Chains A and B, each alone.
Chain A
Amino acid sequence: AQKITQTQPGMFVQEKEAVTLDCTYDTSDQSYGLFWYKQPSSGEMIFLIYQGSYDEQNATEGRYSLNFQKARKSANLVISASQLGDSAMYFCAMREGIQGAQKLVFGQGTRLTINP
Chain B
Amino acid sequence: GAVVSQHPSRVICKSGTSVKIECRSLDFQATTMFWYRQFPKQSLMLMATSNEGSKATYEQGVEKDKFLINHASLTLSTLTVTSAHPEDSSFYICSAPTGGRNTIYFGEGSWLTVV
Contacts and interface: CB of A to CB of B under 8 A. Distances in A.
Interface residues of A, number: 23
B105 A47 contact: yes
B46 A104 contact: yes
Nearest to A34: B102
B101 A45 contact: no
A43 B93 contact: yes
A108 interface: yes
Interface residues of B, number: 23
Contact of A95 (B32, B44, B104, B111): B104
Interface in B76-105: 91, 93, 95, 97, 101-105
A29 interface: no
Given A91-B44, A102-B95, A104-B95, A44 B109 contact: yes
Interface of A: 33, 35, 37, 42-45, 47, 50, 52, 91, 95, 98-99, 101-109
